[in-house]
Structure 1
Amino acid sequence: MEEISSAPIIGVVADRGLHGGQPSQTVMEKYLEAVSLAGGVPLILPQGLADSPAALASAMAVLDGILLPGSASNIEPYHYASGEADQDTQPEAHADPGRDRLAFALIDLALASAMPLFGICRGMQELVVRTGGALHRRLFELSGFQEHREDEGKALEVRYAPAHDVELIPGGLCSELFPETRRFWVNSLHGQGVARLGEGVRIECRACDGLVEAISVASHPFALGVQWHPEWNSRDYELSRRLFDTFIQHARAYRDAYLERRSTPR
């Protein structure tokens, strides 16, 4: 791990819920640890930033990258139209509207500034929706797809174990990261999935049933989303380690370029 003084600062979006009966905003420790172990300094971003442009601008001024973590909540469906009319009219039972607002605002800013962005599970879905795509709200009710949800009755080690393989699509970020292979195994803990992608979004990986498992924004140096959970024991798996290390490397390069611009006389 780098010394804190030289490590890039990574903003991590918080989820909202109840803790001891009181409204709280939290980030699961595994995401913070994965960033720290890769050499970054995680900074939790409260959802209220989305309601204050000045505060959000101040936060962006100190950040070198953004992590959109997974969550038990789902994006409210009015943000997209999947084409599954029977599903689109039903309210989201596990919504977190404050997270939707902050994540979408951060995506806009990251894409405009070329700041590195890494989305995991819900975070990937946020990137899909904000760039003009749509989701299958209940993937498990559609024919042709395997079961992508975990068994919540199992131990965590079982739930986060590799569940299926994915195929790399040539020409993307992931194929550059993993040139030695075309397929690898990932865990699977999601009930929603990509129905449609927006313009300029590139498919990085697909599951054997055809479901999109990773995406990137083609015009951006590092705006990557993965449907699986590489943060789980991230240093124990080469795939996960390489993803987080590359994310932090891009964040470091972003910070260095920013510092160079500030120090260059005009």
Structure 2
Amino acid sequence: MSYLPLVGLPADTYESHGFLYHSIGDKYVRAVAEAALCTPVMIPSMIDALEIDALLDHFDGILVTGAVSNVHPPHYGETPSAAYEPYDHARDATTLKLIERVIARGMPLFCICRGFQELNVVMGGTLETELQDIEGRLDHRAPVHDDVDVRYAPSHAINIRPGGMLEKMLGKRETMVNSIHRQGIKRLAPGLAVEATAPDGIIEAVSVRDAKTFAFGTQWHPEFKALHNPDSMKLFSAFGEAVRAYARKRSAPAKQIA
């Protein structure tokens, strides 16, 4: 293949001085470029101006990032609250539709943190917010610290499901992960399989049942300094291989019907 396949990353939005901006954290695009060995391309969160299927025709995989914002509760049947803010309605409108179409197409999909939660919502699951206030739950928020290495340091173990997709990628049944979230899966979507859980039972990784290719999500952040984390490298390498396989299939000449 003479080119690096394209991976789309839907953007967050924020307002400043009366203008709306679209953005993606460097750690995500860097992980796609340096760990998955693909070309990252931002997808603006402007569903009113995008034709999703025409857009996806140009991509070989999609990575849905984490974010400061939470998924708006009405998308999973709950009442919005100021305690659950901030929200990003433009992102919700774009990513929820995008994930649905990516799965239907059988494209490689990697969902991280907020993206992991969006995947569960798209597939019919629900979320719970402010985990640190719920009896029996760990505080899954990052420590308050100026040093990002401290905020993103491994903070708890996960138990990996025997025989699952994650065990096959990592080759083990337990590892340490970082934890930087307030929201988690409450009711697992019927189309998802649990791949790993935290000590308090919070779901930390899922795969899409009967997926045609790599369709996987993590609640933690494997993109952070991915090149220096063997687990992260295995995840992004598997995603990159799936993206390249999809690109080869997409570019192969169609068989002529006799």
TM range (shorter): over 0.9
What secondary structure, in the 3-state scheme, does the structure 1 residue paired with 2:207 have? strand
Q: What's 2:233 paired with?
A: 241
User: Could you tell me how far 1:52 is from its partner in structure 2?
Assistant: 4.0
Give me the whole-angstrom Cα distance separating, in 2, the residues matched to 1:81 and 1:210: 22
> 1:163-203: per-residue Cα shift (whole Å, max 9, x none)?
00101012321011022x21000000001111111112100
User: Could you tell me how far 1:22 is from its partner in structure 2?
Assistant: 3.0
1:207 aligns with 2:198: yes
Q: Which TM-score applies when normalising by structure 2?
A: 0.94
1:117 aligns with 2:114: no
What secondary structure, in the 3-state scheme, does the structure 1 residue paired with 2:121 have? helix
1:17 aligns with 2:34: no
Q: Which TM-score applies when normalising by structure 1?
A: 0.91
1:222 aligns with 2:222: no
User: Could you tell me how far 1:51 is from its partner in structure 2?
Assistant: 1.9
Residue from 59, 82, 85 that aligns with 1:93: 85
User: Could you tell me how far 1:56 is from its partner in structure 2?
Assistant: 2.2
Give me the whole-angstrom Cα distance separating, in 2, the residues matched to 1:19 and 1:202: 40
Give me the whole-angstrom Cα distance separating, in 2, the residues matched to 1:109 and 1:56: 8
Q: What's 1:71 paired with?
A: 67
Residue from 184, 198, 202 that aligns with 2:175: 184
> 1:8-34: per-residue Cα shift (whole Å, max 9, x none)?
100001000135663210001110000
Q: What's 1:169 paired with?
A: 161
After TM superposition, where is structure 1 displaced by more than 4 Å over at least 4 residues in a row?
none
Q: What's 1:57 paired with?
A: 53
Structure 1: state its 5+ residue gaps: 83-87
Give the letter for the 2:95 counterpart: A
- Paired positions, count: 254
1:36 aligns with 2:14: no
What secondary structure, in the 3-state scheme, does the structure 1 residue paired with 2:103 have? helix
Counting aligned pairs with the same residue, the percent is 36
Give me the whole-angstrom Cα distance separating, in 1, the residues matched to 2:184 and 2:229: 24
Q: What's 2:45 paired with?
A: 47
User: Could you tell me how far 1:123 is from its partner in structure 2?
Assistant: 0.5
Q: What's 2:132 paired with?
A: 140
Give me the whole-angstrom Cα distance separating, in 1, the residues matched to 2:15 and 2:28: 20
Contact 2:72–2:80 (CA under 8 A) maintained in structure 1: no
